[in-house]
Amino acid sequence: MSRYYELLVEFVGIDLKDIQKVVIDEFSWEEEDSGEDYLVCRGSLYGGTSDEEAHKEIYEAIKKIKPFCRIKTHWTYLEDLPSEEYGDNLEIDELQEIMIRKLNQIEEKRIK
């Protein structure tokens, strides 16, 4: 089972190309955006790997390139984001559906 995430990597003391080499080339994340001190990617974690475990793997791989750089990762789980619903309840029974259809027909005749 995989879980789909957005990953933001913020960094100091290392070049973007080195971060991309690890995150994109080595760990197969897809780049969404980048700048002088950040990289945004999307990808999946597999095999029960937690975001904390994935952070550790990426962190250690980056530290091998530049041991004294500073790195922070932000993980956003994209499959179950909070959401809100607004509007009408769409769960209606057959009788309500008939009534809505009839009322719409009456309204259409009234407008003509």
- The two three-digit tokens of residue 50, written as one number: 């937690």
Overall average pLDDT of the 85-104 stretch: 81
Instruction: Mean pLDDT check: name the lowest of 3-7, 56-60, 82-86.
Output: 82-86
**Of 41, 55, 44, 48, the residue nearest 7 (C-alpha):** 41
The dihedral through the CA atoms of 48, 26, 59, 29 has a sign that is negative
How confident is residue 34, by pLDDT bands cut at 50, 70 and 90? very high
pTM: 0.73
pLDDT of 102 > 90? The answer is no
pLDDT of 55 > 80? The answer is yes
In the CATH hierarchy, which fold is given to the domain comprising 3-77? Alpha-Beta Plaits (3.30.70)
Q: Which DSSP helix (H) or strand (E) runs through 97?
A: helix 94-111
State percent of the chain over pLDDT 70: 98
Sheet holding 30-35, edge to edge: 30-35, 38-45, 3-12, 70-77
The residues, any chain, with a CB within 8 Å of residue 65's CB and separated by 6 or more, are 14, 18, 21, 22
pLDDT recorded at residue 50: 92
Q: What is the pLDDT of residues 61-85, one digit of tens each?
A: 999 999 999 999 999 999 988 777 7
pLDDT of 31 > 90? The answer is yes
Overall average pLDDT of the 99-105 stretch: 87
- Cα three-residue angle 55-61-65, rounded to 5 degrees: 135
